[in-house]
Amino acid sequence: MPRGITQEQVSAAANALVSAGDKPTVEKIRQALGTGSPNTVTRMLDTWRGTLAQHLQEVIRLPNVPPEAGQAFAEVWRLAVAHAETFARTALTEEQNSLLAAQSDLTQERKLWEIAWPKRSPTRPSTPLNGRRPTYSSANARCWWSNWKRSGAICCSNATACRPSLSSKMLN
């Protein structure tokens, strides 16, 4: 292997790797050059990375564009970004309002269920709805009612089948 590498060689190899869509690493640079100690390549690769911003500015610069046109493009871009931010904030606010409304609905429904299905306590009656049996919506009613008497809990995983229907008659 030949000895000694230059900064230009390392920069050219790094640029070639970036152009190919690869990330320039010490090993890839050494492979491309066929020589170079890891310490030397690391120092030179750090130097290349330090000048990368300046190199990108040169690549990005538009040739033969008047400064006024560049300023106009910059203003259009600023307006587009501002519009996108406003749109995103509006969408976020609408979503937050929707979630707050859903939370309010769920809280109201929970309160109705607490009224219809009071927890056992010394101050509340031990049967739901002050001793009245609610209407049932399934064949699991007997199972649910016997478990309610014992534990005050819904008996099966099919809660909609065991749960009595909430009606205005039950809440009165």
Would you state the pLDDT for residue 94? 96
* Residues 39-55: tens digit of each pLDDT: 999 999 999 988 887 77
The low-confidence residues of the chain, meaning pLDDT below 50, are 1-2, 125, 138-139, 152-172
Tell me what pLDDT residue 52 has. Answer: 81
Torsional sign, CA 105, 107, 110, 112: negative
